[in-house]
């Protein structure tokens, strides 16, 4: 199989497609020969993304990840447009305006709202994708974007001297997401659908962070340190492809060795 065309003929939904990572995943899907359906709450961002590519292989639609009807509608529309949906990548990152405070500053209501928005939306999307695969007897590969902090404790030393922290909500969300991904695979076994779900857990992604933080972070890595979003796309394309058809319920870490 020609590696650059691992997704030839496949249709992939990308949730959070207007975001920093989502935009790059859309590029990777198209470059691998696939068709991409870009989903986001940001209508202007979606329009800019589609205008940039200008290809019939890319469609866009707004979606509400807290609304089952909105998700089901996106799947149905993608199926009607391209004839089949082969997979999806969920990079959504819903949160309220008070997300990201230091541990002792997090209020109970905000903790519950942020964890509920995030993992609740991922649950609804996983449920919809699994139902789609089951009803249509359609092989389907779902990739959830997790994080190294879903499976390891934070290295708080890298944040010293900065205003940054690793939000407690984030740790709870990503750990829960990884287990929920294993759960849905176990639940779908023996039900007559070749549905599989996996996680990709990136290390930190460059986004103009504090220089002290970047230097400390890099000390724990092999060569690059903080990653560009495109550094994660190879793992995602692989998991979406037939080359990974027997990879089920795994968490693929891409972090330049930060977690080792």
The radius of gyration computed from the CA coordinates of the chain, to the nearest angstrom, equals: 18
Q: Cα–Cα distance between 95 and 175 in angstroms, integer?
A: 17
Mean pLDDT of 28-50: 97
Give the ranges where the chain is alpha helix by DSSP (H). Answer: 20-31, 43-53, 68-82, 108-136, 168-188, 211-218, 233-240
Q: Which of 132, 149, 159, 170 is catalytic?
A: 170
Predicted pLDDT at 97 = 97
Q: What is the reported pLDDT for 2?
A: 42
- 153 pLDDT higher than 50: yes
Residues 257, 238, 89, 250, CA torsion sign: negative
Give the pTM. 0.95
Question: Do 168 and 107 touch, CB atoms closer than 8 A?
Answer: no
Cβ–Cβ under 8 Å, residues 143 and 198: yes
pLDDT at 4: 64
Residue 1 pLDDT grade (very low, low, confident, very high; cuts 50, 70, 90): very low
Q: What is the mean pLDDT of residues 29-55?
A: 97
For this structure, is 170 an active site residue?
yes
33 phi-psi bin (left φ>0, alpha ψ -120 to 50, beta other): left
**DSSP-assigned letter for residue 49:** H
């Amino acid at each position: 199989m020609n590696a650059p065309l691992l997704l030839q003929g496949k249709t992939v939904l990308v949730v959070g497609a207007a975001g920093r990572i989502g935009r790059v995943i859309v590029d990777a899907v198209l470059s691998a020969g696939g068709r991409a359906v870009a989903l986001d709450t940001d209508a202007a961002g979606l329009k800019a993304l589609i205008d940039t590519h200008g290809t019939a292989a890319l469609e866009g639609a707004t979606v509400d990840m807290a609304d089952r009807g909105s998700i089901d509608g996106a799947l149905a529309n993608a199926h009607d447009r391209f004839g089949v949906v082969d997979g999806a990548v969920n990079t959504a990152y819903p949160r309220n305006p008070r997300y990201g405070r230091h541990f002792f500053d997090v209020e109970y209501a905000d903790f519950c709202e942020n964890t509920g928005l995030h993992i609740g939306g991922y649950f609804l999307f996983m449920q919809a994708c699994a139902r789609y695969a089951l009803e249509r007897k359609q092989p389907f590969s779902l990739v959830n974007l997790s994080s190294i902090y879903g499976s390891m404790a934070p290295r708080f030393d890298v944040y010293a001297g900065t205003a940054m922290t690793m939000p407690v909500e984030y740790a709870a969300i990503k750990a829960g997401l990884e287990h929920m991904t294993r759960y849905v695979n176990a639940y779908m076994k023996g039900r007559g659908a070749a549905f599989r779900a996996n996680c990709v857990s990136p290390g930190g992604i460059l986004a103009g962070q504090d220089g002290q933080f970047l230097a400390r972070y890099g000390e724990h890595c092999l060569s690059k340190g903080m990653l560009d979003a495109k550094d994660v796309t190879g793992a995602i394309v692989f998991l979406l492809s037939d080359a990974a058809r027997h990879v089920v319920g795994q968490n693929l870490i891409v972090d330049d060795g930060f977690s080792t």
